[in-house]
Amino acid sequence: MMDPVYSQSRSRSSSHASSSGQSVILNTPNDPTPEEKVRSREHEELLSDGSPFKAPRLPEIGYELPYNELPRSEIDRQRQIPPHHNLAHTYHAGVDPAASKPPSPSLVVKFKRATRVFWAEFFGTAVLALFGTAVNNQVALSNSPLVSNAPAGTYLSVSFGWALAVMLGVFVSGGVSGGHINPAITLSMAIFRRFPWYKVPVYWLAQISGAVFGAGLTYWNYSTAINLYEGGTGARTIEKTGGLFFTNPLPYTTNYLCFYNEVLMTAILMIFVVAVGDEGNTAPPKNLGPFVVFWVVFGLASTLGMQTSFALNPARDLGPRIVTWLAGYGGGVWSVRSSYWFSVAILGPVL
């Protein structure tokens, strides 16, 4: 004989399912076992604890499906995945959101995050200016008997040193700022690659100040040798040693020719820089990009760089020129060759 309580419960569930058109899931009427009672008690303790480091252990819940209302396939599916039981919500039910919130970063951390791009470009350009101006000084000064008994390099050494300087500068800054280390590249990225315009002044300031810092280190290192080369302590002339820091074109050239020379070289450099970063092109892996730039700069310096000292980079000329001005070379560093520094060394690469 059927239990009247169970019969009434089943009839109510059937009538409710038929009227609403939806299946109804009922908990089993069986009393929980002692093991289930222990699990339920542990679950409540975990929920009241509120610790984010503990995962609440859920008690097992049984379900009885209305077989007369569902097809066999639906019954099997609901047996495997109990409905109305959101495990994600249950898992986090006992976690206090305030307790899981990470602590606010300190002012030092905030400062590092806000300025990391600036310092990446600063040190990347500093490496560029340091290695580049250093190879100029080493090759030129060592070829003078007043300084050294044996030459330490040729024009090929200068080309190699500047190419190495660019590659190392990109390696230093590439992972953080993209490794521009060149105001002309930053401007080009803003125009053609949607680089944020509000970052352009920040990049330019970092690049120019980094070039000043790197060239200053070179000047400090070779100041004694420069004294010997110039013929006296503190003697500084643009004709003898000024060109070891900033670009100094050959006497037969005109500013128009030098301008064309710089535009041509910088355009070739930009073609390769854009090609290396173009995912639709047969570009090398990202970690090999600086090596490609190395060979491009080496090739440009070896083939087209003789007439203008291959600026290619406004910061590469402006930063060291500021250093020489501060070091006692005088205001002539700005007026030489009808303001060559602006009309050729800056406008040429930028255009």
DSSP lists the bridge partners of residue 63 as 27
Domain count of the chain? Answer: 2
* Residue-level pLDDT, tens digit, the chain, 351 residues: 445 444 444 444 444 444 444 444 444 555 566 555 555 554 454 444 333 333 344 444 444 444 455 555 655 555 555 544 444 444 444 555 555 667 788 888 888 888 999 999 999 999 999 999 999 999 999 999 999 999 999 999 999 999 999 999 999 999 899 999 999 999 999 998 889 999 999 999 999 999 999 999 999 999 999 999 999 999 999 999 999 999 999 999 999 999 999 999 999 999 998 888 777 777 677 788 899 999 999 999 999 999 999 999 999 999 999 999 999 999 999 999 988 999 999 999 998
* Helices marked H in the chain: 4-20, 34-49, 72-80, 87-91, 97-100, 107-142, 155-177, 183-192, 200-230, 255-277, 289-304, 314-324, 332-343, 347-350
Domain end residue (candidates: 82, 100, 118): 100
| Closest to 26 measured CA to CA, from 57, 63, 59, 54 | 63
Residue 123 shares a structural domain with residue 219: yes
CATH code for position 242: 1.20.1080.10
Residues 184, 306, single domain; the answer is: yes
* Residue 65 sits in the same domain as residue 166: no
CA distance 245 to 83: 76
CB 240 within 8 A of CB 144: no
> Are residue 232 and residue 187 in the same domain, yes or no?
yes
> Of 52, 72, 100, which residue constitutes the final position of a domain?
100
Asked whether residue 269 falls in the same domain as residue 144, the answer is yes
Final residue in a domain of this structure, among 100, 126, 161:
100
Q: How many Cα atoms are found within 13 Å in the side-chain-facing hemisphere of 103?
A: 4
214 and 302 housed in the same domain: yes
Question: What is the spatial distance between Cα 79 and Cα 64, in angstroms, rounded to a whole number?
Answer: 9
Q: Are residues 322 and 273 in the same domain?
A: yes
Residue 51 belongs to domain spanning: 4-100
